[in-house]
A and B are shown apart, each in its own frame.
Chain A
Amino acid sequence: MASLPSPTNSLTAAGPADDTIPSATSTETPGAADRSCAIDDLPCYSGWEPSPAPTRPLTMTTRAPAQLSISRGLQPQLAANEQLHDRAAQMLDENVTFTVTARTRSGQRIQDLRGLDTTGANAHGALRLSDRAKTQVPERLQQEGCEILRVNRYSITVRAPARLVADLLGQPLQLSALRARSMRTRSLRAFDEVDAAIGPQQLFFAPPTSLSAAPRPVHPLIDHFVFMPPPVQFAPPQAQPPVPDYHHLTPERVRQLLRVPAEATADEETIAIIDGGLWPEHPHFAADKYKISAIPVPGGAQAGSDLDGHGTAICRNVFMVCPSVQVLGLSYLPAPGSVGVLAESALEIAAEHGAGVISCSWGWDYEQAFPTLQTTIQDLVASGHIVLFAAGNGARSWPASMPEVIAIGGVYADPDGHLEASDYASGFRSDRYPNRLVPDVSGLCGQQPSGVYIPMPCPPGSHSDQSMAGNYPHGDGTSDNDGWCVMSGTSSATPQVASVIALMLARARSMGITLTPERVRQILHSSAQSVQAGHNAFGFPATGVPNAATGFGLVDAQAALSMV
């Protein structure tokens, strides 16, 4: 293995060497975290030139090779992006997961076959780890302080502190980020040229000149340590929404229209969003420090994934009303390869996790009901949980029509703030439950043809992102993989009202009282802003109170809080 140039020989220093900065020396105990070596003190390789006005000047030590460094292209981004900088600093003390290749049954090194057809080479499993490698290599790595995650057929997955890995490698580990666009070169030089804005999830550690490297002689059966950058799925989404040139709602406007008091908070309240999935890693949630996480459901799709994008998107409506509430996302979808719905499990698990409000922006048309799900919902409400369902967008939706749930319809606010029933939203008299009028109250919702109204984050290239792409008003005018879609429906109205209810619960908590679901419903009915214009998706006019278009009207947070 060729030795790397020491940083002192190859760097263009940003300033004079600073002997007062402690360094990670080669005599340091492997695995011991050097907490005095901050991200700002790391050197760069490959003749990095400092950017014209770095906000955090770099300093370097000349006393010994550092174990960790930063790629050239990453440096300006760390200087300019505090969130990225903080994440990078965290990673210095975190573990690195990497792959160890070792002696195969045939003796051929698997890394040598990179890019070549290995079909013949792997005949009869010739490339599988030899039996000796499977036992001796993990044992030795554990002695060195590594954690063995799994002994696979062809490799060993290992985890260890970044500094320990660098020590085992006998060369520094470099913090880098994968370019979002296709690389002009396959060499690691591409990592020196990170030019697009990157997110914290794209950072990874690898040796400076190759994604794989032979370590120092830890064990004779070890071939390489291989480091895989996080895969690039789509162009990374921006943290902030697009600003369309047509009428749309901003968080400030939503709070204004729903009359949310500026001082109202709900720090200790939890809303569960049950939907097709949730991707809490969207940069928008992290950028604004929202409390959002995905909860697994047994037999369900992987927590934290959202192929459709709908669940991720509608969460923004919660935070537009109340940024301080906690959101838990649960999926009703089963794991790939199965069909069916896990709604009951998701609802019960949401309650077990302390969600006082459960928001559901889905349902079945023609009031198709499922007895066991119905009983589950009734149980939850009877035990004090507030369950909301969207009324539908032209569907006669169940469970929204259940008397126990709070059904949410849609009201549209034009650019001047005039309110009218949304012609995109459902409202109806139930055929299943006597005297049941849907909705109870309404949130904000766009108009036909497509309800393009509220910018919402979604996994880039997800179904939501793609299906809303197109020219306004049928589409949202954004690209199909930018991680943002502009839509609405009663799907977005429902979490808005859920967030208002969370504010009510917080107010009640501060007063030492408990609000029952029925009391919450009464307050919402009594406090809503009456809407007497427009008609709903079925043509029912917003006439009288309540009416089949908007129920008792648009939710009014200030009035509702005053009635707690």
Chain B
Amino acid sequence: MKIVASLRVKTDPRVGPAPPDPTQVAEAASIIERQGVEVLRQGRRSLTVSAELSDLERLAGTRISGPICAIDAEHAAADVARVVDLLEIASAPKQFARNRW
């Protein structure tokens, strides 16, 4: 089963909260694709990817046990850890018409 996830592209802390340069995002996409993970879309700050859980864990360098997972720089591939820092796998949100808790 493929999982759709977001990979946050690292930004330079010196430039504050501004989004990364598009070339940085493109470079990150290229690196991720070389890891064998499909990049569905390059966003302004993140990459939307689709992969099996095992591939995402390989990318992150760690077991994924929750929706938000920091890239483990020690165990992830060096160039991956250089360009992305967070992996998010969101569960389907609730819709607010007939659902009620």
**B-contacting residues of A (Cβ < 8 Å)?**
275-276, 297-299, 308, 310, 313-314, 332-334, 337-345, 348, 361-365, 368, 370-373, 375-376, 379, 390-395, 397, 424, 448, 450-451, 464, 467-468, 485, 487-492, 494, 537
Contacts and interface: CB of A to CB of B under 8 A. Distances in A.
Interface in B63-99: 67-68, 86, 88-99
B8 A334 contact: no
A96 B17 CA distance: 53
Contacts of B95: 275-276, 308, 310, 361-362, 491
Interface string B36-48: 0000110111101
A371 B68 contact: yes
Contacts of A348: 43-44
Nearest to A425: B96
B93 A375 contact: no
- Give the 4 A-B CB pairs with smallest separation, nearest first: A340-B4, A299-B40, A491-B97, A341-B90
Contact of B97 (A340, A376, A379, A489): A489
Given A373-B88, A376-B44, A341 B101 contact: no
Q: Which of B67, B88, B97 is the most central at the interface, judged by chain A CB atoms within 10 Å of its CB?
A: B97
A379 B45 contact: yes
29 contacts: A276-B95, A298-B41, A299-B48, A337-B1, A338-B3, A338-B4, A339-B4, A340-B90, A342-B4, A361-B96, A368-B67, A370-B67, A370-B88, A370-B90, A371-B86, A371-B88, A372-B8, A373-B88, A376-B45, A390-B96, A395-B94, A450-B100, A464-B98, A468-B98, A487-B97, A487-B98, A489-B99, A490-B96, A492-B97
- Which of under 10, 10 to 19, 20 to 34, or 35 or more describes the interface residues of B? 20 to 34
A344 B86 CA distance: 14
Most buried by A among B17, B40, B89: B40
A314 B90 CA distance: 23
Contacts of B4: 299, 334, 338-342
A563 to B, nearest CB: 28
Nearest to A308: B95
A364 B93 contact: yes
B97 A451 contact: yes
A159 to B, nearest CB: 29
Contacts of A342: 4, 40, 48
